[in-house]
Amino acid sequence: MKLEIRQAKSFDIVEITQLFYETIQTINLKYYPQEDIDDWSSWYSDFEKWNSRIVEQYFIVAAFDSRIVGFASLATDGYLDLMFVHKDYQGQGIASQLLSELEKKAIEQNNQEVYSEVSITARTFFEKRGFSVKRKQLKKSRERELETYYMTKDRRYIMINNQIIDAIRMRRSTRSFTEQQVEDEKLETLLDAAIWAPSGGNNQSWLFTAIQNKDILLELNELVREGFQTWVPDDDYPAKHSVKVSSQKEDYNFYYHAPTLIVASNKPNYENAMADCALALENIFLAAQSMGLGSCYINQLHWLRNDSKVRDYLFELGIPKEHTICSSAAIGYIDKETPIPARKPNTTRIIK
């Protein structure tokens, strides 16, 4: 079925308000107490208010075979007032398509930003689409005040909106994976993305070794644990010191139990070895994001690159002894989403 997005009409109000009520009573109930839910969803009966929104705002609906499965609205000043998807059609990209249409309208209206008062439920979605939290707030519904987030998206991020930029902004370091293995086709795509990264002088002297055997990964983890007991950090990087403590725990796992580990190695006497592999891993991370996979940059094998037991085992796996271990990537399906960290200010400059 093809999703149709069109402007809402007054005759859509009954279907829109029913979707509004049912979605709040089911989806939003996971994040708000029943008293808040009942107060919030009671707005469904105010048909006059709904009609004024349809008349005064850019109000659109998404429909499958004439059945409305989502709706959204944008005011003339760039205020994103409404965004709801039917409870039975969550996670199908409908909200993303609705938002894309609103952002096109925002550009047409010459809005300098799109801003919204976002529910706890929807915060992660908006963050993934480039919105930033400006403040946490209480918003008055009818009788109760609901916890929401005031979020904005600058015009420049709306205008330059494509899949690559989205993947860059949506990628997170995943440290909680499901047991589901990465399919062969996706793994091959990740490795292909790696080898298309730039390299110094086009050397391409790297090697990417993907390990999916659970027993091998667990054996490697034990060798890493042992290696850290005698390893001495060579600088003040906090993670190097904390790993000395965490590796002593029985449940320590340096790759976060990811079902796939990709090890990047390169020539040791090559100045760009680390940079080349880092660029390749970023390709892997972005490709993983685009395919619904989580990823995390793993340092531990690089730190133990001179540990004899670890190196002997990696040699058995086909990684040449004359290679240095530059880095590795944990890859798998996301079990727990990673919160979006704020970007530090004053970290970029433009000189003209």
Domains along the sequence of the chain with CATH:
4-161 (3.40.630.30), 184-332 (3.40.109.10)
CA atoms of 10 and 31, how far apart (whole Å): 31
DSSP string, 291-309: TT-EEEEE-HHHHTTT-HH
**What is the per-residue pLDDT for 136?**
95
Is 0.75 surpassed by the pTM of this model?
no
Nearest to 314 by CA among 264, 251, 253: 264
Q: Cα angle at 194 between 264 and 127, to 5 degrees? A: 105
**What is the per-residue pLDDT for 286?**
96
What count of other Cβ atoms lies within 10 Å of the Cβ of residue 40?
21
Report CA Rg, the chain. Answer: 25
Q: Which residues pair with 296 in a beta bridge?
A: 330
Judge contact between 331 and 215, C-beta under 8 A.
no
> Would you give per-residue pLDDT tens digits along the chain (352 residues)?
789 999 999 999 999 999 999 999 999 998 999 999 999 999 999 999 999 999 999 999 999 988 999 999 999 999 999 999 999 999 888 999 999 999 999 999 999 999 999 999 999 899 888 898 999 999 999 999 999 999 999 988 787 767 788 888 889 999 999 999 999 999 999 999 999 999 999 999 999 999 999 999 999 999 999 999 999 998 999 999 999 899 999 999 999 999 999 999 999 999 999 999 999 999 999 999 999 999 999 999 999 999 999 999 999 999 999 999 999 999 999 999 888 787 888 999 999 9
> Cα–chain-centroid distance for residue 274?
25
